[in-house]
Amino acid sequence: MTLRFIDWIWHVKGRLALAPGQTSDDAFTRLAPLFRQTGTSYERLKDRLTFQKKDQAAQDRMSIFDSGTLRIENGPHGSELHYRLVSRALLFCFLAAPLFLSFAGATIVIGQLQRPSVEAEKKPEKKDVVLPQNPIDKALGAPAPEKPKKDDKKKDEGPSPTPAYVFAGIFAVLYVVGRILEARLVKRLFQNSLRAT
């Protein structure tokens, strides 16, 4: 099965025009500091640079990417930098949403399985007792203490799937934000590096 229809999920592609007269040698020299990071190895062959990252630090400005290729090609308007970057973080975030949906499903199933046993365990209610309150708290106006009510209805329903749904939603939103934001950030990073004096 070919992955080319879905690899946009974890691949970031783009291109940048080099300054007029800028050689590939000069471009890669300017970009090289980005790859001199802990956990990063890179190889340069003529007009192509490939890199790999492992356990990259959070402070690495390209920490979201795990590998990639940068090429200098001659286009109709001069030389261009073409890049194709691979991000496991984007893929992970994309998959986190269905993962949390599956947690929600599991929560519902487990809740249904345990419901009969919970009902069977219902205990007779104890008599209400008056709880003591310190005179200082009474004088300061704190509400009188009440015995905590056991929320039997909630217990009967079992664990709630709501948090799992919320996190699935959070990761779906984060994926969209990250896919757009990180593509722009890396393009700006390359642009600034190429133009740095």
Q: Please give the residue ranges that form the binding site for other proteins (CB under 8 A).
A: 38-39, 55-59, 63-64, 89, 92-93, 96, 100, 103-104, 106-107, 110, 131-134, 136-137, 140-143, 145-148, 159, 163-164, 167, 170-171, 174, 177-178, 181-182
Amino acid at 73: E
Minimum CB separation from other proteins for residue 2, in Å? 26
Q: How far is the CB of 193 from other proteins (least distance, A)?
A: 18
Beta carbon of residue 159, minimum distance to other proteins (angstroms, whole number): 5
Instruction: Please choose, from the candidates 46, 64, 44, the residue with its C-alpha nearest in 3D space to the C-alpha of residue 56.
Output: 64
Which of residues 116 and 132 has its CB atom nearest to other proteins in the complex? 132
Of 120 and 140, the one with the shorter C-beta distance to other proteins is 140
Which residues lie across from 52 on neighbouring strands?
41, 67
**Quick one: 17 or 89, whose CB is closer to other proteins?**
89
Tokens of 175: 């994926």
* Minimum distance, C-beta of residue 63 to other proteins, in the bound complex (Å): 6
Which is closer to other proteins, CB of 17 or CB of 172? 172
Buried b / exposed e along 161-188 (16+ C-beta atoms within 10 A): beebeebbeebbeebeebbeebbeebbe
Of 3, 4, 8, which Cα lies nearest the Cα of 175? 8
Radius of gyration, alpha carbons of the chain: 29
